[in-house]
Chain A
């Protein structure tokens, strides 16, 4: 019962922080969605990190390590620790700059303006929403499951989901971006401490220390693979380094980039990001592997950390650590709900005339109403749909967003890129998502058991499609590889074959050198970031 009380106190604190933020919130969309673009450096790091961390970082990572061993860290964590900061450095800073200059609040708003398009922007918007919604639903499911597990079944799954949905809704509804980032400070500190505390407590409880257990795993031929990557094909391992390209393309991450007060806020974030990932993932992966010895034969390995904490940590500490896990769930979920609300309000409601008709106050009202409706629908879906469907959808979403990254790179850095190139890339991504979903479903019946080699899916196609235990592969590579490469190739080829945007638009985003050389105010700005007019021109 004590863990439930601790987690309840935590949830109350979250709600209070949200209500305090409500008092500071102004009735305009820039304040509600982006906290008036005033998020400071340290808060920006903590919030951006919380945006990208889900329950998977704690529960899923340890569960996967329990099944597959230490290779999970290199597969998912260390590659993310390099690629995500690089994308924030190159893409996030540019998004921030364009948001400041032109008032963009979403990626689609930028694409529409950059490529002078309406419908194609709506196509990109639709694909983004389709890929983001399952992520939001599975966060509610994960939160409900954690609350049920922590309470030892006293809190029913449906009630757990309802509690998470209500806390997230109230936090976003009242506080908007400001409430969300304030809560993130508390949440990120909690779950960053989680791993170190868990390792220290469990280590203290083990006679002989970790070394004895690891040597035991290594000396047993049935378990030694857990300490190597002998069951992880190299092509599969390399393919995974493309998945973190998805991070900056997730709408909640891109929107977060618009919220920073200064671009210098990104400095601390990109340097600390790999270390923060390590602080969470390394202990979780290690404890997951150790769990094979301490808690053998688990049917649901994702619960390994909860088992370890229950058996080896004081009950009050297990409650605090449980709150750390819930933090990871809700930190990301609040941003997803806010992002979907921002996208619908800005890219649909405001874009198609709602703002002109109902004004800023009406737009914020629409956003708040939308938040309630969308979380209620997500909650109902979470109750009636098997989790496995959304787990699969989320995995596909990561590949899908990764494959959309060439669209963003082209928009930011290539003046000759066109809306038709963007459309071709988007359709390519959508087609591959549909295809791999079909192949995955079609091959479920022949999926090999863990440790067995992959099998051919369609014999007529040879090794083109193979099925491993959990994934479909393309010549041994994950589908993200052809998706990213094809998307990039189409972006280039179709752009070269179709008319470029108007001169005025290109000049707006890529002012010519001669213009800037003639203007001292602009001389320090790079292509793609300079303004068409001198920056310090007095407003008329």
Chain B
């Protein structure tokens, strides 16, 4: 079962490893235990640090997705076409 091998055919193992590491790092940054009991500083004078951190985290998530789209987009799917004739298996008679 290789999720990574389904990213983009021919993608180098090192690149897949680095991207996996990046996703894992961003996921782990969500658990910001260091902010757990802190209220200050108030970012922009009114946003408690715990809330400001996670607002920033949302921006980080968007950046991560932009990186994935840029370097790991499954281009092969763009070329996918319906088969002729289609296998309309979802409508076939049940047994």
B13 at the interface (CB under 8 A from A): no
Query: Could you mark each residue 24-37 of chain B with 1 if its beta carbon is under 8 Å from any beta carbon of chain A, else 0?
Result: 00110011110111
Cα–Cα distance between A282 and B52 once the two chains are bound (Å): 9
B66 — which chain A residues lie within 8 A by C-beta? Answer: 271
Structural contact, B62 and A228, CB atoms closer than 8 A: no
Given A78-B61, A229-B36, A351-B92, residue A94 in contact with residue B23 (CB < 8 A): no
* B residues 49-73 in Cβ contact with A at 8 Å: 50-51, 53-55, 57-59, 61-62, 64-66, 68-69, 73
Structural contact, B57 and A241, CB atoms closer than 8 A: no
Query: Could you mark each residue 260-271 of chain A with 1 if its beta carbon is under 8 Å from any beta carbon of chain B, else 0?
Result: 001110010011
Q: Which of B8, B61, B95 has the most CB of A within 10 A?
A: B61
A12 at the interface (CB under 8 A from B): no
Structural contact, A103 and B87, CB atoms closer than 8 A: yes
Query: Could you mark each residue 476-520 of chain A with 1 if its beta carbon is under 8 Å from any beta carbon of chain B, else 0?
Result: 000000000000000000000000000000001000000000000
Min distance, Cβ B5 to any Cβ of chain A, angstroms: 7
Give how many A residues have a beta carbon under 8 Å from the other chain's beta carbons: 89
Taking a contact as CB atoms closer than 8 A, the residue among A102, A264, A271, A526 that contacts B8 in the complex is A526
A237 — which chain B residues lie within 8 A by C-beta? Answer: 31
Cα–Cα distance between A275 and B3 once the two chains are bound (Å): 26
B76 at the interface (CB under 8 A from A): yes
Min distance, Cβ A124 to any Cβ of chain B, angstroms: 14
Structural contact, B86 and A102, CB atoms closer than 8 A: yes
Given A73-B51, A89-B68, A410-B1, residue A526 in contact with residue B37 (CB < 8 A): no
Q: Which of A16-24, A145-153, A530-538 lies at the interface?
A: A530-538
Query: Could you mark each residue 1-12 of chain B with 1 if its beta carbon is under 8 Å from any beta carbon of chain A, else 0?
Result: 111011111000
- Nearest to B27 among chain A residues (CB) is A82
Structural contact, B1 and A93, CB atoms closer than 8 A: no
Taking a contact as CB atoms closer than 8 A, the residue among B5, B50, B57, B90 that contacts A81 in the complex is B57
Structural contact, A526 and B5, CB atoms closer than 8 A: yes
A272 at the interface (CB under 8 A from B): yes
Q: Which of A106, A264, A414, A526 has the most CB of B within 10 A?
A: A526
Given A272-B62, A277-B58, residue A93 in contact with residue B36 (CB < 8 A): no
Structural contact, A263 and B77, CB atoms closer than 8 A: yes
Q: Dominant SS at the A interface?
A: helix
Taking a contact as CB atoms closer than 8 A, the residue among B36, B65, B76 that contacts A525 in the complex is B76
- Nearest to B53 among chain A residues (CB) is A74
Given A78-B58, A78-B61, A89-B68, residue A228 in contact with residue B80 (CB < 8 A): no
* A residues 71-104 in Cβ contact with B at 8 Å: 71, 73-74, 77-79, 81-82, 85-86, 89-90, 93-94, 96-97, 100-104
Given A103-B90, A215-B42, A526-B9, residue A94 in contact with residue B85 (CB < 8 A): no
Structural contact, A118 and B95, CB atoms closer than 8 A: yes
Structural contact, A286 and B47, CB atoms closer than 8 A: yes
Structural contact, A286 and B51, CB atoms closer than 8 A: yes
B64 — which chain A residues lie within 8 A by C-beta? Answer: 82
Taking a contact as CB atoms closer than 8 A, the residue among B37, B48, B58 that contacts A214 in the complex is B48
Min distance, Cβ B61 to any Cβ of chain A, angstroms: 4
Taking a contact as CB atoms closer than 8 A, the residue among A270, A285, A346 that contacts B65 in the complex is A270
Cα–Cα distance between A191 and B76 once the two chains are bound (Å): 35
B69 — which chain A residues lie within 8 A by C-beta? Answer: 89, 267, 270-271
Given A70-B51, A103-B82, residue A238 in contact with residue B5 (CB < 8 A): no
A307 at the interface (CB under 8 A from B): no
Structural contact, B84 and A267, CB atoms closer than 8 A: no
Cα–Cα distance between A244 and B95 once the two chains are bound (Å): 35
A90 — which chain B residues lie within 8 A by C-beta? Answer: 3, 6
A110 — which chain B residues lie within 8 A by C-beta? Answer: 90
A311 at the interface (CB under 8 A from B): no
A344 at the interface (CB under 8 A from B): no
Structural contact, A351 and B91, CB atoms closer than 8 A: yes
A273 — which chain B residues lie within 8 A by C-beta? Answer: 62, 65
Given A102-B87, A274-B58, residue A352 in contact with residue B27 (CB < 8 A): no
Min distance, Cβ B36 to any Cβ of chain A, angstroms: 5
B42 — which chain A residues lie within 8 A by C-beta? Answer: 211, 214-215
Min distance, Cβ A158 to any Cβ of chain B, angstroms: 38
A234 at the interface (CB under 8 A from B): yes
**Interface set of A (CB-CB < 8 Å, partner B):** 70-71, 73-74, 77-79, 81-82, 85-86, 89-90, 93-94, 96-97, 100-106, 109-110, 112-113, 118, 209-211, 214-215, 218, 224, 227-230, 234, 237-238, 241, 262-264, 267, 270-275, 277-278, 282, 285-286, 346-347, 350-353, 355-356, 409-410, 412-414, 416-417, 508, 524-529, 531, 533, 535-540
Shortest Cβ-Cβ A-B pairs, 8 listed: A109-B90, A539-B84, A414-B1, A210-B46, A274-B61, A278-B58, A78-B54, A227-B39
